[in-house]
Amino acid sequence: MNNQGRPTRPVETAAWQTKTFTGNRGLDIEEPLLFEIGRPQTSGVDIDEAPDFADRLGAHARRGRIGLPGLSEPETLRHYVRLSRKNYAIDSGLYPLGSCTMKHNPRLNEKMARLPGFADVHPLQPVSTVQGALALVKHLSHALMTMTGMKAVAMTPKAGAHGELCGMMAIKAALMASGEGARKVVLAPESAHGTNPATAALIGMTVRPVAAGAGGMVSAQAVRAALGPDVAAIMLTNPNTCGLFEREIVEIAEAVHEAGAYFYCDGANFNAIVGKAKPGDLGVDAMHINLHKTFSTPHGGGGPGAGPVVLSERLAAFAPVPYVVEREGKLDLVEHAEGQELGRMSAFHGQMGMFVRALSFILSHGADGLRQASEDAVLAANYVRACLIDLMSAPFGDRPCMHEALFDDSWLKDTGVTTLDFAKAMIDEGYHPMTMYFPLVVHGAMLIEPTESESKASLDLFIMTLRDLAMSVQRGEVERFTGAPRLAPRRRLDETRAARAPVLRWTGAADRT
């Protein structure tokens, strides 16, 4: 080095400066697959050799060993603990995934769900022994109907998408009952979540898209133009996937009803309007509620979830079984209903653990607290929006948003950085990326949903990080983005190949090329 600190000869980088011997990074341990570290002859438990016995399996007897990998107890424990540490979770940091509503799961809910009276009930117990559990289901049903202004609720669907299926099946059953089974078209705006058209297709309907208006909202005029005697229903999300309240929703509902069709509302964004607007007042006939988005139950990798569906008076008779009723002061479950078209959505009675958590959230907040949570979620999203709008472009101008702030990629034009690159650079800064490229109607969309549960300090650090990244784009520091993530356990992955040619079966080291 010279006295200005510049090197005076080429610096040789020793291998240890860029790589570690173990592949570990600090205390972030590189973890191979169980099949790579396990040994078939090892077991975590001592089991006696099986005594001699006469095998009566005949031709069904296994010919060779299965070769399941075995580990000692501490090795097994470490394997799964290390894997769990590779998960990013709302418990480890801000999770700005728009549309998914990753809000804090209060520990009080967990405590309630672990009460033995709730945790240990079995779905096949006699009804007389689970009166408390049924009372809880009834109480939650009542709360959901009150908040939405709807007449009935089906508690058994297991997620939002399953709730959509339930609501649309109820609509189909109602149409069949009134001799209008020929209505086979479902209207869905282009900004809809993919589950909406998928649900329509699953029940044998065809989807007629409704173009989104210039302001990111669906106009009553566009809906009227798409309506006809063949239309069964419209599936509309409100607030919509652009984070905007559909201003013409009442007019849309009236037009849909006049045309003899039903109004299915995708209620995934209900968390923005709880205590402020009731879907029943807006003319909705059916709407699912994602308990994991609005009422803070955990999002578990695909389950166990709960997506109750509230129904209007017109659809109440078409709700699936089972449901809770009161008879002579005792609660009972209706498992079969005469003339009921829909049948049941799932085995048993719904996702008890999620019901307890959601009711715990509702009761601990109270009506005023729930309204405040909606207001805070909207305030947080607008704060993020206002603090980034000078650097990042938003597709729908300067209008305030609901609970999520939507940006597009026009500010990245000609910079050599894409939405994906920007999201990967967030990982290096310790943030899970926002929702990318959704909704599809916005080019290079970045959908940020901070939720009500982040503090101002946490939002400020997030905003400052995004501002730092955005200014880095402006300075032309392209490699910070195209080379990201640099600091994650894995670098940039070939996501297209992972999606198109997934390796789902371990057949040995050859798979690792």
Ligand X SMILES: *Cc1c(COP(=O)(O)O)cnc(C)c1O
Q: Which residues pair with 70 in a beta bridge?
A: 39
Q: Is 193 in the site for ligand X (CB under 6 A)?
A: yes
Q: Is 453 in the site for ligand X (CB under 6 A)?
A: no
- By beta-carbon proximity to ligand X, the closer residue of 112 and 165 is 165
Contact status, residue 439 vs residue 242, Cβ threshold 8 Å: yes
Member of 90, 94, 134, 159 binding ligand X (CB under 6 A): 159
Residue 364, CB-side half-sphere exposure with 13 Å CA sphere: 16
Amino acid at 128: S
Member of 189, 243, 280, 307 binding ligand X (CB under 6 A): 307
CB-based contacts of 363: which residues, under 8 Å, 6+ apart? none
- By beta-carbon proximity to ligand X, the closer residue of 243 and 485 is 243
Q: Is 160 in the site for ligand X (CB under 6 A)?
A: yes
- Cα 290 from Cα 355, distance rounded (Å): 11
Q: Is 195 in the site for ligand X (CB under 6 A)?
A: yes
Member of 144, 150, 154, 161 binding ligand X (CB under 6 A): 161
- Enumerate residues 79-138 that contact ligand X by CB under 6 A: 99-100
Q: Is 241 in the site for ligand X (CB under 6 A)?
A: yes
What is the length of the chain?
Answer: 513
Q: Is 312 in the site for ligand X (CB under 6 A)?
A: no
CB-based contacts of 236: which residues, under 8 Å, 6+ apart? 188, 189, 192, 218, 246, 249, 252, 263, 264, 265, 266
Cis peptide before 439 (omega within 30 of 0): yes
CB of 120 to ligand X, least distance (A): 27
Q: Nearest Cα to 352, choosing from 102, 112, 108, 142? A: 112
Q: Is 148 in the site for ligand X (CB under 6 A)?
A: no
Q: Is 282 in the site for ligand X (CB under 6 A)?
A: no
Selected range binding ligand X among 2-10, 63-71, 159-167, 322-330, rule: CB under 6 A: 159-167
Q: Is 424 in the site for ligand X (CB under 6 A)?
A: no
Alpha-carbon torsion angle 235, 288, 374, 149, nearest 10: 90
Selected range binding ligand X among 25-33, 157-165, 400-408, 485-493, rule: CB under 6 A: 157-165
Q: Is 243 in the site for ligand X (CB under 6 A)?
A: no
CB of 434 to ligand X, least distance (A): 14
Member of 237, 297, 351, 435 binding ligand X (CB under 6 A): 237
Q: Is 403 in the site for ligand X (CB under 6 A)?
A: no
| Three state DSSP letters for 318-358 | CCCECEEEEECCEEEEECCCCCCCCCECCCCCCCHHHHHHH
Q: Is 324 in the site for ligand X (CB under 6 A)?
A: no
CB of 169 to ligand X, least distance (A): 15
Q: What is the size of the binding site for ligand X (CB under 6 A)?
A: 14
CB-based contacts of 7: which residues, under 8 Å, 6+ apart? 1
Q: Is 31 in the site for ligand X (CB under 6 A)?
A: no
Q: Is 374 in the site for ligand X (CB under 6 A)?
A: no
Member of 266, 408, 409, 454 binding ligand X (CB under 6 A): 266
CB of 403 to ligand X, least distance (A): 11
Strands 286-288 and 309-311: antiparallel
Q: What are phi and psi of 192, to 5 degrees?
A: -65, 150
- What does the DSSP 8-state code read for residue 223? H
Which residues in this chain contact ligand X in the complex, by CB under 6 A? 99-100, 159-161, 193, 195, 237, 241, 266, 268, 290, 305, 307
